[in-house]
Structure 1
Amino acid sequence: MRLSTVILPVRRWSEGGREMWQRAEELGFHAAYTYDHLSWRVPFRDGPWFGAVPTLTAAAAATSRLRLGTMVTSPNFRHPVPLAKELITLDDISNGRVTLGIGAGGSGFDATALGQHPWTRRERADRFAEFVPLLDRLLTQDEVTAEGTYYAAHEARGLPGCVQRPRLPFTVAATGPRGLRLAADHGESWLTTGDPAANETGSPADSLAALARQTEALEKACAETGRAPHTLGRTLLTGFTPDRPLESLDAFVDFAGRLTTLGFDELVLHWPLPGTRFEADLSVFESIATEAPAQLA
C-alpha cells in the first residue's frame, strides 16, 4: 500500500507553501498531488488559490524524490494541446516524477469560470471521452493532427516527449461505465473518492460496500477492454467517505486494511488544514505517514 498526500494550493510559496512539499518528501510519501481548479468550494472560494502547474513546477525544483501530480485535471479548464506541452515540460523539470490525475470534471461554481454554459453530466462525459485519447496521443507521438467534436489538433508537436516512456502515467477518476472503460484503456491507475450517496448519508460499512461495487464495475470494464484487472492500480482519495481514518494511527491502519482487501494500492490523504473539512492533528498525520506503511506491508 502506497501512501500519498494532496496539498491544496492555498499558501503563498514564500509563506509555508514550499516547506509543505518538502516536508511531504521528508515524511516518505509516495506522491504529493494538488487540485487542478481555478478556485474551490467554501471555505476556499474567497481565499488564496494558486495554479496547479506552476505550483507543481516549483515543487519539482524544491524536491528530488517525491512524485508529483494533479488530482484532478479536467476538460473544465484545459485543452489537450497546451496541456500536453505543459505536462511534457513539467515531466522534464521533475526528471520523470509526474503523474496526471484526470477526470471528467464537476459542476461546481468554478466549472463555468471560462464563460461556458454549465455542462450536463452527459456533456462532461462526452468531452472526457474525446479528451483522454487525444491527450494520450499528444504525449506519445511527435506530431498529432486530429479533428473531433470538441477538440482539434493541427500538426501539434510533442517533441521531445516525456522523460517517462511512453508517457507519464494517467490516474483516471471515474465511476460510470464510460469513464471506467477510459480508465481501463488509458490509465495506469483508477481513482475514486467513494460513492457520493454513501459518503453523504451512509455508514463506513455502507461506504465500503459501495467501493466494492465500484471495483466490481472496474473489473467488468477491464474485461470488456481485454485488460487484466491486476495491471490497473486502484487509488482512493480519502477525506470524503464517512470513515475517520486520521483520528489515530490504529484507526488508519484498520481503514487501510479494509481497502487492501478490495485491491486498493494507493491512499491519498489531504494535508491537514485547520478550519476545513480536512482538519486533523498534524502529529497524528505525520505518524501515519511514517509508521503505517510498515504495518500495512
Structure 2
Amino acid sequence: MRLSTVILPVRRWHDGGRAEWVRAEQLGFHAAYTYDHLSWRTFRDGPWFGAVPTLTAAAAATDRLRLGTLVTSPNFRHPVTLAKDLISLDDVSDGRIVLGIGAGGVGFDATALGQEPWSPRERADRFAEFTALLDRLLTEGDVSQEGTYYSAVEARNIPGCVQRPRLPFAVAATGPRGLRLAARYGQAWVTTGDPKLFESGTPEESREALRRQADALATACAEIGREPAGIEKILLTGFTPDRTRPLESVDAFVDFAGRHRELGFTELVIHAPIPDSDFAVDPDVFERIATEGLAQLGD
C-alpha cells in the first residue's frame, strides 16, 4: 500500500505554498495531489490558486514526488486545451504526472462560466465523451473528432507525453457508468466512499459500501476482458464516516489503513493540515503518520 497526500492550493507560493510540496517529498509520500477547482466549499471566500500552475511549480520544486489532480472534471475544462497543459506538465515533471479525473458536481465550478448546471445524466454523458477524447489527444499526434459536447479539429500534441503511451488516468467513480470508464481508461480508480453514509453511516457500513464499489469495478473489468488487479485502487480519505479520526494518531491510522488494505486498496490519500478548517489535524501527528504509518503495516 502507498500513502499520498492532498495539498489544497490555499497558500501563496512564496508564503508557505512551495514549502508544503517540498516537505511532502521529504516525508516520503508516494504522490501529492491538489484539487482542480475554481474555488471549493468553505474555502470559496479565501485564497484558492489554479491547479495547473501550482503543479507546474511543484514539479520544478521537487525531484521524485509524483504529482496530480484529484480531480479534474469537465465542469470548466475542455479536452483540447487540457491535453496541451497535461503534456506540458508531464514534460516539466519528467514523467511524474497523474491525472485524477471525474464527472464533476453541481457546485460553483458548474456555473462559473455562465452555464446552467447539468443534469446527472448530462454530466455522465459529458464525462464519457470528455475522457474518450482526452485519451486520444494524449496518445495521438493529430486528432480530429466531432462529438456531441466536445470536438477537436487537427489538434496537434507533439511530442506527446513523457510517460507512454500517455500519462496515467485515475478515474473517480462510484456508479456503474463511471466504473465502466475506469475499467476502460483508468490506470487507477479513485473513490471517497459512499456520500450517503458521510453524515449518519458507520465505519463498518462504509467499508461494506467500498467493497461493493470494488466488486462493481471488477465486474466492469470482466465485461471488457481486463484484469481488475491491473488497476490501482485509491481511497481519498476524509469523506467517510471516520472523517479525520484516522489522523488522530499513528495507531488510528494503522488500523484504518489495514482495514482498507484488506478491501484491496493500494493507495490512501490524506489531506495536508490546514488550520481552522475541516482538515485541521495535528501537523506533528500528520508527519509521524507519513514516516511511520505504513511501516507499521509492513509496507
Matched, 1:269 2:264: no
- Whether the 8 Å contact between 1:181 and 1:225 is mirrored in structure 2 is no
Aligned to 2:199, what secondary structure does the other structure show? helix
Looking at structure 1, the residues matched to 261 and 40 of structure 2 have their Cα atoms a distance apart, in angstroms, of 30
Distance in 2 (CA, whole Å) between partners of 1:205 and 1:245 is: 14
Match of residue 200 from structure 1: 199
Quote the residue 1:94 is aligned against: 93
**In structure 1, C-alpha distance between the alignment counterparts of 2:72 and 2:214, rounded to whole Å:** 22
What does the per-residue CA deviation read over 1:88-136, in whole Å, with 9 as the maximum and x for residues that have no partner?
0000000000000000001112321011101111110000010001000
Contact 1:191-1:235 within 8 A present in 2 as well: yes
Are the aligned partners of 2:76 and 2:109 in contact in 1 as well (CA < 8 Å)? no
Residue identity in the other structure for 2:219: K
Q: Deviations over 1:237-281 (max 9, x none)?
A: 001111110010010000000111111000000001111111101
Residue number in structure 2 paired with 1:257? 258
- Normalised by the length of structure 2, the TM-score is 0.98
- Counterparts of 2:108 and 2:169 in 1: how far apart (Å)? 26
Partner of 1:61: 60
For 1:32-47, what aligned pairs fall within 5 Å after superposition? 32-42=32-42, 44-47=43-46
1:137 corresponds to: 136
1:284 match: 285
Aligned equivalent of 2:17:
17
Offset at 1:206? Answer: 1.1
Alignment of 1:221 with 2:220, yes or no, is yes
Contact 1:10 1:48 (8 Å CA) reproduced = yes
Q: Indicate conservation of the 8 Å contact 1:7/1:32, yes or no.
A: yes
Say which SS state the counterpart of residue 182 (structure 1) adopts. helix
CA distance in structure 2 between the aligned counterparts of 1:184 and 1:16, rounded to whole angstroms: 38
Question: Which SS does the other structure have where 1:245 is aligned?
Answer: helix
User: How many residues in Structure 1 have an aligned counterpart in Structure 2?
Assistant: 296
Structure 1 CA distance, aligned partners of 2:199 and 2:83? 35
Alignment of 1:232-247 (within 5 A): 232-243=231-242, 244-247=245-248
**CA distance, structure 1, for counterparts of residue 149 and residue 264 of structure 2:** 35
CA contact (8 A) 1:145 1:155 kept: yes
Q: What does residue 122 of structure 2 align with?
A: 123
- Determine the C-alpha separation between the residues in 1 that align with 2:231 and 2:286: 28
Percent of residue pairs bearing the same amino acid type:
74
Show the counterpart of 2:165. Answer: 166
The whole-number CA distance in structure 2 between the counterparts of 1:182 and 1:118 is 22
Q: Which residue matches 2:156? A: 157
Q: Give 3-state SS (helix, strand or coil) of 2:137's partner.
A: helix
Secondary structure (helix, strand or coil) at the match of 2:226 reads coil
Q: Which amino acid aligns with 2:294?
A: P
Deviates more, 1:63-72 or 1:217-226: 217-226
Which residue in the other structure is 1:2 paired with? 2
| TM-score computed with the length of structure 1 as normaliser | 0.99
Helix, strand or coil at the partner of 2:99 = strand
Rounded to whole Å, the distance in 1 between the matches of 2:279 and 2:105 is: 20
Match of 1:92, as an amino acid?
D
* Alpha-carbon distance in structure 2 between the residues aligned to 1:145 and 1:139: 13
The amino acid of 2:101's aligned partner reads: I
Does the CA-based 8 Å contact 2:170-2:187 persist in structure 1?
yes
Question: Offset at 1:213?
Answer: 1.0
Question: What's the CA shift string for 1:155-179, capped at 9, x where partnerless?
Answer: 1001000000000000000011111
Q: What is the CA RMSD across the aligned residues, in angstroms? A: 0.7
1:268 partner amino acid: V
Deviations 1:5-41 (A, max 9, x none): 0000000001000000000000000000000000011
**Contact 2:273–2:279, Cα closer than 8 Å, also in 1:** yes
Structure 1: which 5+ residue stretches go unaligned?
Answer: none
Partner of 1:248: 249
